[in-house]
């Protein structure tokens, strides 16, 4: 049974997250319907990460197991044909080697968070950025974000519904840069806790507007308490941008 590795891009706005729902729309459900439409097979699509409601992806990786072996480009093209008009695109497809698995073989995940920092609200990027009117000090945000890099107990930045066995994670990268009117946050780690990126982003943004300091972020981290977390950033600015494999 061949396994196909797919690189997927999607706009998360119409979906209640990646994971299939009984009634509500999901990215996984749309992908599975596309597979059935061209192959006739009812399968479960695996993924590197289950993004939340409204979260986007430019580099999600999924796998599909099919009974029949198709050329990889046929799988890509057929799925894209049956995904229309869903805002989901299969960017590439290839036959996986060995026991590769989209989730369990991954050794790193990367997320980007976009903040539109200007007075006027977004028109073209509505639902794709977090609009913050107050001026943000990106340099101060970057400096504060560095206290989060490394191996820590991230209980403060962990959603109450998180099902991870441990709150201890190693955050490899946390950067904040300004690109014109946008402030961009980048995070990389082997894996993340539920809503960890949005929780860290909202807290770091408090430094940007001057309500928190770097010391406050460190104190929140060391508190190991959800109550110490700053505001959680909204879903619309978050993107899964890549997954790393050996």
Residue 131: its pLDDT value, please? 98
> Mean pLDDT throughout 29-35?
97
Residues 72 and 116 grouped into a single domain:
no
> Mean pLDDT throughout 151-161?
96
Q: Which of 221, 197, 16, 226 is nearest to 113 (CA)?
A: 197
pTM: 0.96
**103 within some domain:** no
CATH for 196: 3.30.70.660
Work out the angle between the directed axes of helices 27-39 and 72-83 (0-180°, nearest 10).
Answer: 120
**188 within some domain:** yes
Residues 130 and 228 grouped into a single domain:
yes
The string of pLDDT tens digits covering residues 101-126 is: 999 999 999 999 999 999 999 999 99
Q: Which of 95, 122, 141 is the last residue of a domain?
A: 95
- Asked if omega into 229 is within 30° of 0 (cis), the reply is no
Q: How far is the C-alpha of 73 from the C-alpha of 6, rounded, in Å?
A: 10
Residues 87 and 114 grouped into a single domain:
no
Residues 28 and 138 grouped into a single domain:
no
Placement of tokens 């996986």 in the chain: 96
**101 within some domain:** no
Instruction: At 161, list the tokens.
Output: 């519904």
Q: How far is the C-alpha of 29 from the C-alpha of 20, rounded, in Å?
A: 5
- 3 state SS of 161: coil
- Asked if 172 is an active-site residue, the reply is no
**100 within some domain:** no
Placement of tokens 């519904």 in the chain: 161
Whole-number mean pLDDT of the chain? 97
Residues 167 and 221 grouped into a single domain:
yes
CATH for 19: 3.30.70.580
Q: Which of 166, 165, 171 is nearest to 199 (CA)?
A: 171
Number of domains into which the chain is organized: 2
Nearest-5° angle of CA 164, CA 170, CA 175? 115
Residues 140 and 237 grouped into a single domain:
yes
The string of pLDDT tens digits covering residues 53-110 is: 999 999 999 999 999 999 999 999 999 999 999 999 999 999 999 899 999 999 999 9
Task: Give the structural domain span for 172.
Answer: 108-244
Residues 21 and 116 grouped into a single domain:
no
Instruction: At 7, list the tokens.
Output: 């690189």
Pairing state of beta strands 108-117 and 130-132?
parallel
Q: Which of 170, 143, 141, 140 is nearest to 154 (CA)?
A: 170
Instruction: At 245, list the tokens.
Output: 């494999």
**22 within some domain:** yes
- pLDDT-derived band at 163, boundaries 50, 70, 90: confident
* Active-site entry in 52, 65, 125, 172: 52
Residues 189 and 123 grouped into a single domain:
yes
């Amino acid at each position: 049974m061949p396994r196909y590795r797919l690189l997927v891009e999607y706009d998360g706005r119409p979906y209640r997250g990646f994971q299939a729902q009984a009634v509500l729309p999901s990215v996984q459900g749309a992908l599975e319907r596309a597979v059935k439409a061209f192959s006739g097979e009812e399968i479960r699509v695996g993924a590197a990460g289950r993004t939340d409601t409204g979260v986007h992806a430019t580099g999600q990786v999924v796998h599909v197991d099919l009974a029949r072996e198709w050329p990889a480009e046929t799988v890509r093209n057929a799925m894209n044909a049956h995904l229309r008009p869903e805002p989901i695109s299969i960017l590439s497809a290839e036959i996986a080697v060995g026991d590769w698995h989209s989730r369990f073989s991954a050794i790193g995940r990367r997320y980007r968070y976009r903040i539109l920092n200007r007075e006027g609200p977004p028109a073209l990027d509505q639902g794709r950025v977090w609009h913050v009117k107050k001026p943000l000090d990106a340099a101060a945000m970057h400096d504060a974000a560095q206290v989060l890099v490394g191996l820590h107990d991230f209980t403060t930045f962990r959603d109450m519904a998180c099902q991870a066995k441990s709150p201890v994670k190693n955050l490899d990268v946390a950067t904040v840069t300004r690109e014109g009117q946008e402030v961009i946050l980048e995070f990389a780690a082997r894996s993340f806790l539920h809503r960890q990126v949005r929780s860290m982003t909202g807290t770091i943004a408090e430094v940007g507007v001057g309500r928190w300091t770097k010391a406050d972020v460190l104190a929140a981290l060391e508190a190991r308490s959800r109550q110490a977390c700053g505001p959680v950033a909204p879903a619309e600015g978050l993107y899964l941008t890549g997954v790393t494999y050996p």
